[in-house]
Structure 1
Amino acid sequence: MSNGVAALNAPLVGAAGSRARLETPSLLLDATAFEKNVSVLAEMAAVRGMGLRPHAKTHKCAAIAKAQLEAGALGIACAKPGELLALFEAGVNPLMLTAPVASRLKIDRLAAAAARGADIAVVVDRAQLIADYAASARAASATISILVDCDTGLGRTGVTTPAEAVALARMIEAEEGVTYAGVQAYAGNVQHVLGFEERRAANRVANERLQAIVTALKAADLAPGIITGGGTGSHMLDFEDQVLTEVQAGSYVFMDEGYRPVDLHGAGEEVFRFALFVAVTVIAHSANGEAITDGGTKSFAIDGPPPRAFLDGVEIGTIAWAGDEFGRLKTHDGHAPPPAGARLECTVPHCDPTANLYDVVHLVRDDVLEAIWPIEGRGLSD
């Protein structure tokens, strides 16, 4: 365990009232909300007869990934080789790398892991990448599954036409050491469209482009066994459209302020609970009486709406930044700045990069610190 707050908090595990005694800044995971989020999406997917492959770019934590697998997930998606390999070493399998790479050394590391038992699938967007994966797999006496990466509107990676997808699928089938597994199409441009009907329309455009690719592959006798994509913002729409065979939702497990205004199911109601918080402590007060906390921009990813701050479960204000190390509590009307030593629990602007700032996450249930989980993929953006 690190020499930071995790070491200071370790003696509190299992102690009554330990949640309120945590040293800060510390990353908290509310066990009740977390477990509910995992089960809710798993049940929705099961009812629709679709698979889930939750994306670990959100949490990078083996304990969380294992909970998702135990709830019925087909596997775990990863954005980068580093986080995938860290999760494999921590006992997570199967694993899918959802972005192309351009490093033969990284490909060799993936192939070596496959030779040691990692069940790895990857995506490709060009012929050379297929050849590189195949050569590394053969050299390692391993097998790697490959999906064709398709761009249906995000404008980041992937082929855009049915002809390109068919050509790559044929190349995969012709290589030894790799197997053709299907296609990926992540409509990231859809996920944060706020209105449900507007998001449905945007997602339908993406799925129509994907359906044209799937139809062409079937006509070429290359029917994709896996059609993967989607996310937290589009999960219900993808369950409805039934073009994908599985959904790669990630943020649903934590939730954040960026997703808070997104009407996920069209009823204006909460679907997933806020489970991730950053605990901070009031360390002083400014000359005008504002509470200053010990959590600044090194404790929160700030690419999203400001965190809401809670004292004893009551929302009392929002956090404004007072520097890299410090926050400034902007209290709501009717709430006085809390005294020095008061501990606040704050929502996060953006959950994925916030989790990446911490070595561990503190699992809390009611008022008790239940466990401290390592975030094995923390900082592994390679």
Structure 2
Amino acid sequence: MKRGVAGLNETLIGLPGSRAQLETPALLLDAERFETSLDRLAQLARLSGMGLRPHAKSHKCAAIAERQMAAGALGIACAKTGELLALFEAGLTKLMLTAPVSSRLKIDRLTAAAARGLELIVVVDRLELVAAFGASARAAGTHVAVLVDCDTGLGRTGVTAAEEAVALARAIATEAGLVYAGVQAYAGKVQHVFDHQERRAANHLANAALTPILVGLRAAGLAPEIVSGGGTGSHLLDFEDGILTEVQAGSYVLMDEGYRPVDVHGTGEPVFDFAMLVLVSVIGHSANGEAITDGGSKSFAVDGPPPRVYRDGVEIGTIAWAGDEFGRVKTYDGIAPPPAGARLECTVPHCDPTANLHDFIHVVRGERLEAIWPIEARGLSD
């Protein structure tokens, strides 16, 4: 039996009207919205002739990653070693770690998984990390594919000059146990630029920083097979520009209030719907009549705009935080506070860390609970 609220809801799977009967707080995945977004980005990638390597940091869930692979993804990107290894143990075999590491123990865990069948890609930003991965891969009797991490404006990790990239690529290519596979260049600062033309200009700046690195690598006989980067906010621009070979979009299958203002395709219309929701219940009312729910900052990541609240499919207000465990419904003018016992579906401020707060995600289709999927990599911030 599943623990927590998922254990209470397990008996409802497949029953008519079960969505409205779920115990709360419960993380939901609207299957129809999820599948529409999944298929839409996969089709756009196919039409562009580019690949998708969706980022699992948004969901951390093997069942979601499996469906992304079935839709044509080249593999799955992961931010942390722990997340990657949890997805490998859950059956995913084509995984890329998108950040450098400094721990030899973690490197050894990664190469040990590669020796067991993991098709692993890692990134490096310094020569000593190349040597560390090479030594570990040789000791494990395996090979690891490696990308040169490039900083095109994010200011986090990665090299900024062509000569640095060439030096790393040469070191990878000559290190026994490693396979030089290309570069990573994630333009993270671009993703949440609201205006489409401003975001296009920001993406061009990132590409302008990447281009001389690519030119330098090709001139040195180290042309990258993989040029990985991009995300939900820049995917269309990346498909149009054709500089990357694959896009690491993550939030598109879930969406959150942080992405809501972003004019993703420049049409003024939403491209991906809100598939991730948190279901909460009204447990009582404050002295001034506001509805108090059973979901606070332990159910929602709060680093984003406030959630919008829906009752029976109608938007009635927003959530303000009333503590770690509680929320306060701020109903719109003319709308009465919902009564005790009312179940409310809420959007999320930020999908990535919200998924990290829950052990399970309840898959709903229409008014029926269809499945409950574990979030295998939840809490593995190592």
Q: Cα distance, 1:364 vs. partner?
A: 0.2
**Structure 2 counterpart SS, 1:258:** coil
Q: Cα distance, 1:333 vs. partner?
A: 1.3
Match of 2:75 in 1: 75
Deviations 1:136-163 (A, max 9, x none): 0000001100000000000000000011
Match of 1:343 in 2: 343
Match of 1:274 in 2: 274
Code of the aligned partner of 2:289: G
**Structure 2 counterpart SS, 1:35:** helix
**Structure 1 counterpart SS, 2:258:** coil
Deviations 1:178-207 (A, max 9, x none): 100000000001100110000000000101
Alpha-carbon separation, structure 2, partners of 1:338 and 1:197? 41
Alpha-carbon separation, structure 1, partners of 2:231 and 2:42? 13
Deviations 1:277-325 (A, max 9, x none): 0000000000000000000011100000000000000000000000110
Match of 2:179 in 1: 179
Match of 1:129 in 2: 129
Code of the aligned partner of 1:289: G
Match of 2:118 in 1: 118
Code of the aligned partner of 1:320: A
Residue 352 of structure 1 pairs with residue 344 of structure 2: no
Match of 2:55 in 1: 55
**Structure 1 counterpart SS, 2:38:** helix
Code of the aligned partner of 2:91: G
Q: Cα distance, 1:93 vs. partner?
A: 2.0
Alpha-carbon separation, structure 1, partners of 2:62 and 2:177? 28
| Superposition pairs of residues 7-46 of structure 1, within 5 angstroms | 7-46=7-46
Contiguous gaps of at least 5 residues in structure 1:
none
Alpha-carbon separation, structure 2, partners of 1:120 and 1:334? 55
Q: What is the TM-score when the length of structure 2 is the normalising length?
A: 0.99
Match of 1:240 in 2: 240
Alpha-carbon separation, structure 2, partners of 1:144 and 1:161? 24
Code of the aligned partner of 1:48: S
Residue 265 of structure 1 pairs with residue 265 of structure 2: yes
Residue 95 of structure 1 pairs with residue 95 of structure 2: yes
Match of 1:163 in 2: 163
Alpha-carbon separation, structure 1, partners of 2:298 and 2:260? 22
Match of 1:189 in 2: 189
Match of 1:221 in 2: 221
Code of the aligned partner of 2:330: K
Contiguous gaps of at least 5 residues in structure 2:
none
Deviations 1:94-153 (A, max 9, x none): 000000000000000000000000000000000000000000000000110000000000
Alpha-carbon separation, structure 2, partners of 1:150 and 1:47? 27
Match of 1:86 in 2: 86
Match of 1:66 in 2: 66
Code of the aligned partner of 1:318: T
Alpha-carbon separation, structure 2, partners of 1:319 and 1:161? 46
Code of the aligned partner of 1:313: G
Code of the aligned partner of 1:112: A
Alpha-carbon separation, structure 1, partners of 2:26 and 2:143? 41
Code of the aligned partner of 2:139: A
**Structure 1 ranges of 4+ moved more than 3 A:** none
Q: Cα distance, 1:334 vs. partner?
A: 1.9
Residue 325 of structure 1 pairs with residue 325 of structure 2: yes
Aligned length: 382
Q: Cα distance, 1:208 vs. partner?
A: 1.4
Alpha-carbon separation, structure 2, partners of 1:296 and 1:87? 28
| Superposition pairs of residues 291-302 of structure 1, within 5 angstroms | 291-302=291-302
Alpha-carbon separation, structure 2, partners of 1:225 and 1:232? 22
Alpha-carbon separation, structure 2, partners of 1:367 and 1:156? 44
Code of the aligned partner of 2:177: G
Code of the aligned partner of 1:337: P
Match of 1:289 in 2: 289
Code of the aligned partner of 2:178: V
Alpha-carbon separation, structure 2, partners of 1:34 and 1:42? 12
Alpha-carbon separation, structure 2, partners of 1:196 and 1:331? 31
Alpha-carbon separation, structure 2, partners of 1:362 and 1:26? 7
Alpha-carbon separation, structure 2, partners of 1:246 and 1:222? 18
Match of 1:371 in 2: 371
Q: What is the TM-score when the length of structure 1 is the normalising length?
A: 0.99
Identity %: 72
**Structure 1 counterpart SS, 2:86:** helix
Code of the aligned partner of 1:256: D
**Structure 2 counterpart SS, 1:176:** coil
Deviations 1:3-47 (A, max 9, x none): 210000000000000001000001000000000110000000000
Alpha-carbon separation, structure 1, partners of 2:147 and 2:74? 16
Code of the aligned partner of 2:172: I
